[in-house]
């Protein structure tokens, strides 16, 4: 495999929220703040897995993104639907809308065998972004070094 040139690539990560509600927007902001910090090309979209499944599928099939981050609360079908339509990595972020976000968490982590969704903690857009960057960094030494520096800086805050 060849190196992925982060600076020359188009969209590397697609951030998809299931709705425009405040809780989803807050998690999207967490994700995009980290992606901006690492200078990762991304785009954000809003698609409902239930209300706009055909638009979602068309987008997934045409997206140049290497990784999808799906942000969803309640029944949280979005990450699983995305994963069922692509072999690209999909990261699910459960959102606390009801029941402390446990309903969304269980919906995302309980995928059937063969359709995998990586899942981060409830409302944890930061870790979703970092995981997506780690996936892309496998083939990019510069990005790997940025991640190491980021972790070192975080570690020093706790010393």
pLDDT tens by residue, 44-68: 999 999 999 999 999 999 999 999 9
**Alpha-carbon distances of 95 from 63, 74, 92, 108, rounded to whole Å:** 24, 8, 10, 11
Residue 159 pLDDT grade (very low, low, confident, very high; cuts 50, 70, 90): confident
Q: Record the pTM.
A: 0.93
Query: Is the distance from CB of 16 to CB of 71 less than 8 angstroms?
Result: yes
| HSE-up (13 A, CA, CB side) for residue 107 | 24
- CA–CA dist 119, 59 (Å, integer): 21
pLDDT tens by residue, 10-28: 899 999 999 999 999 999 9
Residue with tokens 């063969």: 114
Angle at 80 between CA 11 and CA 8, to 5 degrees: 10
Options 3.30.1180.20, 3.40.50.1970, 3.40.190.10, 3.30.1050.10; which CATH number does 13-157 get?
A: 3.40.50.1970
Residue with tokens 């692509």: 86
pLDDT tens by residue, 109-147: 999 999 999 999 999 999 999 999 999 999 999 999 999
């Amino acid at each position: 495999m060849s190196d992925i040139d982060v600076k020359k690539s188009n969209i590397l990560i697609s951030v998809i929220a299931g709705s425009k509600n405040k809780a989803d927007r807050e998690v999207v902001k967490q994700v995009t703040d980290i992606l901006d910090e690492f200078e990762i090309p991304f785009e954000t979209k809003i698609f409902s897995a239930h209300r706009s499944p055909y638009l979602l599928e068309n987008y997934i099939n045409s997206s140049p993104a290497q990784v999808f981050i799906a942000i969803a609360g309640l029944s949280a079908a979005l990450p699983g639907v995305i994963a069922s339509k692509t072999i690209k990595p999909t990261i699910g972020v459960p959102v606390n809308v009801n029941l402390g976000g446990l309903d969304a968490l269980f919906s995302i982590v309980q995928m059937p065998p063969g359709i995998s969704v990586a899942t981060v903690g409830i409302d944890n857009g930061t870790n979703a972004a970092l995981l997506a960057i780690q996936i892309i960094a496998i083939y990019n030494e510069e990005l790997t070094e940025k991640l190491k520096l980021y972790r070192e800086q975080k570690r020093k805050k706790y010393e």
